[in-house]
């Protein structure tokens, strides 16, 4: 094999995004063992910084060794047992995926659905929960990556705060890019991924489990179906006992630690405002060129904008040409809009007007 020399792409798809040089540099530093005292200190630092980013005091906040989908599965397999009822909210690909995982856990799934591209009705979800007080959990995607919808969730969290039903939230394309208040919003379990707004390579899934979720875990009647994702064992490695469970991806932990340091230096609120400003600049520029928007107005996710190119544009052909000739990656559509839309990601260091200007200038060549 020849030496690996990948091109310098501008990654404006649904993730991964470009990562800061200092994160890549951190990954190249010497390895230590996964039980080394220095590494264990870094584990504590990463968990503390993740708590700040999730805006939570949950002690069981840590990165699962795997991508965002592993974080999703970790939440479901630990909290659900065969025969449980789960209310799953679906308005895109990842809500559908949550329902699939819940069913694989042996749960009875009650679906609450909305048209893709629009938000779910929080009152409808609450009414469904009232009809199913036996539900073990209610799961919803806060930032639906397949559609670019930012879903309101605070009313659901407030309703469930004094109920036995757990509130589980997918924050894969939200953490570090939009406001997410795990404690204040009554979220009992939450998961994300490193390759989106945290601007770290894919490979880790930050998760946070609150007191209600941990109590459910303690009172399970059956073993967690996944050995690798069993929180009863993972907590002994990531908690104070430091008992060996698996060989953690050390270089990825280095990367996450550095990515979280970048967030600390910028300030979480400043970062959220930067993502919103960049998205506004992109939408204004695209609207001037005749683009249409798929996600409903008022519910658009700043880190990911879903758009219909102007009439007459070769949607997939131009997307491929942008990659081949301009080294700009955009995401294609999924499900009912496959081949009809682009999903444009502005995440991490790519959430800035300079990167938006590069894309808009390239698109002018096709106008």
pLDDT at position 17 is 98
- Name the residue among 339, 338, 258, 331 with its Cα closest to residue 16: 331
**pLDDT, tens digit, 9 for 90 and up, residues 308-326:** 999 999 999 999 999 999 9
What pLDDT score does 367 carry?
87
Domains plus CATH for the chain? Answer: 10-14+268-364 (3.90.1150.10), 21-264 (3.40.640.10)
Give the pLDDT confidence score for residue 26 in this predicted structure: 98
Residues ≥6 apart with Cβ < 8 Å to 278: 302, 346, 350, 351, 352, 353, 355, 356
- pLDDT at residue number 95: 98
The strand pair at 143-144 and 204-209 is best described as unpaired
Tokens of residue 14, six digits: 């649904």
CB-based contact 51:208 (threshold 8 Å): yes
| pLDDT tens digit sequence for 285-309 | 999 999 999 999 999 999 999 999 9
Residue 270: Cβ-neighbour burial (10 angstroms; 0-12, 13-18, 19+): exposed
Structure tokens at 183: 């404690």
The answer to whether 139 touches 86, Cβ cutoff 8 Å, is yes
pLDDT of residue 157: 98
Residue 81 has a pLDDT of 98
State how far the Cα of 258 lies from the Cα of 23, in Å rounded to an integer: 6
Structure tokens at 263: 């967030």
Q: Which residues pair with 110 in a beta bridge?
A: 87
Could you tell me the mean pLDDT of each successive run of 10 residues in the chain, 367 residues long? 95 98 98 95 97 98 97 98 98 98 98 98 98 98 98 98 98 98 98 98 98 97 97 94 94 98 98 98 98 98 98 97 98 96 98 98 96
DSSP assignment letter at 188: S
- Cβ neighbours of residue 179 closer than 8 Å, sequence gap 6 or more: 272
Dist. CA 65–CA 205, nearest whole Å? 7
């Amino acid at each position: 094999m020849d030496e690996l020399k990948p091109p310098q792409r501008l990654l404006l798809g649904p993730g991964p995004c470009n990562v800061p040089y200092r994160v890549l540099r951190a990954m190249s530093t010497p390895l230590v063992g996964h039980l080394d005292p220095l590494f264990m200190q870094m584990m504590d630092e990463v968990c503390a910084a993740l708590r700040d980013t999730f805006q939570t005091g949950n002690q069981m906040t840590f990165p699962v060794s795997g991508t965002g989908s592993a974080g999703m599965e970790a939440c479901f397999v630990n909290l659900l047992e065969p025969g449980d009822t789960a209310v799953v909210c679906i308005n895109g690909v990842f809500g559908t995926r949550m329902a699939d995982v819940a069913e694989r856990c042996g749960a009875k799934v009650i679906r609450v659905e909305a048209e893709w591209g629009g938000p779910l009705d929080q009152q409808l979800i609450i009414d469904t929960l009232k009809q199913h007080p036996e539900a073990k959990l209610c799961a919803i995607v806060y930032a639906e990556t397949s559609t670019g919808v930012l879903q309101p969730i605070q009313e659901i969290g407030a309703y469930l705060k004094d109920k036995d039903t757990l509130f589980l939230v997918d924050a894969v394309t939200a953490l570090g890019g939009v406001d997410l208040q795990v404690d204040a919003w009554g979220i009992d379990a939450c998961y994300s991924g490193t390759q989106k707004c945290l601007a770290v390579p894919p490979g880790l899934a930050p998760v946070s489990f609150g007191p209600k979720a941990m109590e459910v875990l303690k009172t399970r009647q059956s073993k967690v179906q996944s050995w690798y994702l069993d929180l009863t064992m993972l907590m002994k490695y990531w908690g104070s006992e430091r008992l060996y469970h698996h060989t953690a991806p050390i270089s990825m932990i280095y990367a996450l630690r550095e990515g979280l340091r970048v967030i600390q230096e910028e300030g979480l609120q400043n970062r959220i405002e930067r993502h919103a400003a960049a998205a506004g600049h992109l939408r204004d520029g695209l609207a001037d060129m005749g683009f249409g928007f798929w996600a409903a107005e008022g519910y658009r996710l700043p880190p990911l904008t879903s758009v219909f190119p102007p009439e007459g544009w070769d949607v997939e052909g131009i997307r491929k040409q942008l990659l081949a000739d301009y080294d700009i990656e955009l995401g294609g559509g999924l499900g009912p809009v496959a081949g009809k839309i682009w999903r444009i990601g502005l995440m991490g260091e790519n959430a800035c007007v300079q990167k938006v200007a590069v894309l808009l200038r390239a698109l002018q060549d096709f106008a």
